[in-house]
Each structure stands twice: as structure tokens, then as C-alpha cells.
Structure 1
């Protein structure tokens, strides 16, 4: 598993890279987006694939057709001012190619990809985010639960999308989801006849990534690339799936303690 995060902030443009072995941050002198293609110095990202030209990291990965969601994951909240807007470009797409990083070759032939976007000024003060599409059956899952400031107040919001055997399941605050249980290791959601239960066990504390705060990449979060995940979805009391993976990607930022409100 390797992820690349190209972006631009008030503090400058960048590309971040994370894998189970660690994370790296690269400063970028030029970043542009034109015609659906993002260029960051020698790197190129589009719906057709990515070309990586970074110090010690080179390669190219081609993508198959994107598996997009039926509608914007933010729902009606996309029309309101938000400190962070999330987007899901593809829940799963086929991969061909390889990346060589510091002499180690990562082969992606026959693998699956995932693509998303974030825009805004700051990540939520506290949140959980997880994504996985490496299950024994065709299933891709993403979930985010976060403290959302909204119109002078704050609430705990949830967005969750599942693509299982070609069918989309959506659980979200704007669809009336109830967060029945929530901790770093266990989540249970209920929405109408749907019930989702997640058990998470990160393999390690995660690797550091830079995160936005008030427009600058001045905060640090930690992301685990190989968390163990068990996901169980039921509908009307009947099991839709009960699947496990050792390759979940996971971030958890707890609510700051008193006196630490400026720390992520």
C-alpha cells in the first residue's frame, strides 16, 4: 500500500507519501490543476493514473475506470460554508504499474486503488477516518466521523459509503444515521433498516502526516496503513456481509483535553 497526497496551502505546495514503512513530505515549487490533471513539479495525477518523480521515488501507475458514488458524499452540506469539504472520486479502480522508493519496488499490477479529495482551511478538531477496499469479497468502505462546527454551534457528523458487489450503501448525518457506539476501536451505526458495526485494531501508532490548520500545513496527524478491520453490515436484521481485512487505512484524532485546544 502506497498513498500520495498532492496539495497546496498558504505555506506552499507539497506532495506527501505514506506506506507501511513510513511517511515522507516533499516541497513542491509548482503545482497546477488544468483539464482534470494535477501537476506537481515532475509528478502528474489524473483519472487515468499517476506519474511520480520525487527525490528517491519514481514510477507510474495506470488506473482503470473509476467507481464513483451516486452523489456527492457531503450531501446537502456541500452548499454550506465548511472548514473542510470531503470528496470521494473512486471507491475502487484497477491498477497497473509500479513505484520504486529508496530502492524498494512496489508492484500494483492487479491491485485496487482509491481516490478522494479534501479542500478547506482546517481538518476537524477531532475525527476518525477509515478506508479499506482489500476484502475477500468485492467491497470498498470509507467512513468519517468528526466534530463539525456549523453556524456557531458544533455537532458530531458522519459520512459513510460502502460499495459492495456493485451496490452502494450510504449512511450519513443528512440521511438520519444514529451513532450508537463510537470509540477508536469500535463503531456502530444505525439508519433505518441498516446497521453497520466496525471493529478496528491499528497495527501501530501510525506514521506522521502534515495536516491543515487555518490554511497552513502546521498540524501533524498520524495515519496507520495496515489496521485490522472487521466490518459487518445488516439490513432488516439479515447479514449483508461480514468481512475482515488487515489493510485498513486509519486516522483518529481525539478531542483535545482542556488547555490543548490548539493541538491536533
Structure 2
């Protein structure tokens, strides 16, 4: 099966984007950093690195843009390169200078916890992987160890026992409406991981609400998806500061209550341009309840989740 980390846009034509979402957290130090390197082929072509940082109550975010010619893919080891930026499956090294912020990043990744793959589901998209979608998603690693250091405007944060997550998106546009949440920093079980997304999918000939989600309990992968018959319900809080997602299928259910506090601006591909502002929090409270048929309910809580809600009423 294909490596879900690898760049897939070598022969892509506009409109097209492809980006990695690389998150590293250390709950004991109240530290989370997400990096989004990628390319955008629209009327204007560019490559970029976006960053979103939360550390001890302080947050930074921004986007650094480079000419498309600065984007490079190399082998041995397979790596994504931009000026002063290198990402591979073994880690990330970068020096980001943006709007008065100076960030030096040197992080090493452990073995990836990958999703199961087969012919029917070569990725989290299942059989939709074989269909040209407005936005295709990959989960590269549900969980991996992280160690190294990040220097933020002269202050060094040493990471000895961090936790990482990585996913990818590619296509022409993000969904016009969606919710997304992720965490692998649960207090009650530090080996559990969650990813979920519910989105409005427009295939021109068909329009539907699609869901993809994985809860990994540390031993076993539990997947919810439209292509598996799962149903999704999204309820936005009256104050608009959070939402609840309920996922069900014949044998299991998952309820996730998600906060949207501490959000920072990021830029997303929408309407054939790379200029749509969304808010993402990487300091989300997430409460999770997972129930499998004839088994005890699992209750988990996290203060270090990531979450977005775009145009979902």
C-alpha cells in the first residue's frame, strides 16, 4: 500500500493544494505546536509553512510564504524541503522568522501509529480514495513519540516525552462546512488517540454529509465512516464556543464534546484561492465517551486537543 506521508501532487494542475498537519504536544509543559507545510496552485502559486503555538497561556500563529520553486521533495530519507524547513517521517527541523517571532525547531519522531490499510480502504477515505474528491484526507500517524527542542523568541522548551500526530489534505478546496477534532493527550489513558471530521461533501452529482473518524484505545483501531454505514450528528453550542459530535454504527458509538476556546487564525484553500481565514485551537478541551457493544463505556478527557468548526450552524 502507498505511504500516506508521501507527496502526491507531482503532476498536479491548478486548482490544487496539498499540505501536512504536524502536531507535537507536551502536556506536562502545557506546550503544543502545529506546523502546516504545503503548496497551493491557484491563480497565485506558492509554497508555505503555517504555525500555531500554545505555551503556558501564550499563543502565536502565522503563515510564511515562499515561491513555488522553493518547494522540493527528496529521497533517502523521503523529505519535504522549503527554505530553512525540512520535514520527514523521522522529524522536523526548521527556523521560522515571521512578524517579530523567531522559532527554532528541532524535533525527532518515534515510530508512527498508522491506520490499517487494505484494498477497500487504502486510506481513511476508504473507497472514496478512488474517487476524485474536492478534498482528500490522510491520517499519517495517530500517535508517535516526540523529543527535541523548540526555541521561541530566545526561550528554550526541551521536549523529552512529547506526543505527535500527523495528517494530510489534498485536492482543490476544503469543504465549505465542517467540524474537525483531534487529541492523543488523554488524562485517563495516555495511549489513546482520537481523530474525527464531519463535513459537507459536494460531488456535483451527489451532495451529502460525510464523516471519517478513528478512536484508537491504545490496543485497537475503532473506525467510523460514511462508507462503513456510520451516522453522524453535530450539535453546536448556543454560545458558539464548542460543539458535540455523536457517531454511531451497528456495534459502537462515540460522543465527543469539543471546546473552541483559544483559537488562532490560519489560512485554508477555499473557493479556488489560498486566502480563507479559519480559526483553529490547539488548546481544546475534549470529553470523549466510547461504547462498544457488550463492553464498558470508555470515558476520556483532554485539555490539549485541536479543533476547528467552519460554517457549521
How high is the TM-score relative to the length of structure 1? 0.92
2:74 to 34, 50, 60: 34
Q: 1:245 aligns with which of 296, 302, 306?
A: 302
Q: CA-atom RMSD, angstroms?
A: 1.5
Among residues 96, 113, 121, which one is paired with 1:54 in the alignment? 96
Per-residue CA deviations over 1:191-228 (Å, capped at 9, x if unaligned) read 11101011122233x10001012443111110011111
Unaligned runs of 5+ residues in structure 2 are: 1-31, 118-122, 237-241
TM superposition shift of 1:181: 4.7
1:130 equivalent among 164, 181, 192: 181
- 57-66 or 184-193, larger mean C-alpha shift: 184-193
| 1:98-119 Cα distance to aligned partner (Å, 9 max, x none) | 1112223333221110011111
Give distance in 2, aligned partners of 1:124 and 1:104: 38
Alignment of 1:213-228 (within 5 A): 213-228=270-285
Whether 2:39 is the aligned partner of 1:8: answer: yes
2-structure distance, mates of 1:79, 1:93? 28
Give the 3 Å change call, closer, same or farther, for CA 121–98 of structure 1 in structure 2. Answer: same
Give 1:45's aligned residue: 87
Q: 2:198, 2:232 within 8 Å by CA — same for their partners in 1?
A: no
Whole-angstrom distance in 2 between the partners of 1:88 and 1:164: 16
Number of aligned residue pairs: give it. Answer: 255
User: Could you tell me how far apart the structure 1 residues matched to 2:216 and 2:271 are?
Assistant: 33
Contact 2:234/2:243 (8 A) holds in 1:
no
Provide the C-alpha distance between the structure 1 equivalents of 2:218 and 2:228, rounded to a whole number of angstroms: 22
Shift of 1:122: 0.7
Q: When the two structures are superposed, what TM-score results if normalisation uses the length of structure 2?
A: 0.78
* 1:186 and 1:197 in contact (8 A); partners too: yes
Counterpart of 1:78 in 2: which secondary structure? helix
- Further displaced range: 182-191 or 117-126: 182-191
User: Matched residue of 1:185: which SS?
Assistant: strand
Structure 1, unaligned stretches of length 5 or more? Answer: 257-264
Alignment pair present for 1:89 and 2:147: no
Contact preservation (8 Å) 2:253, 2:292: yes
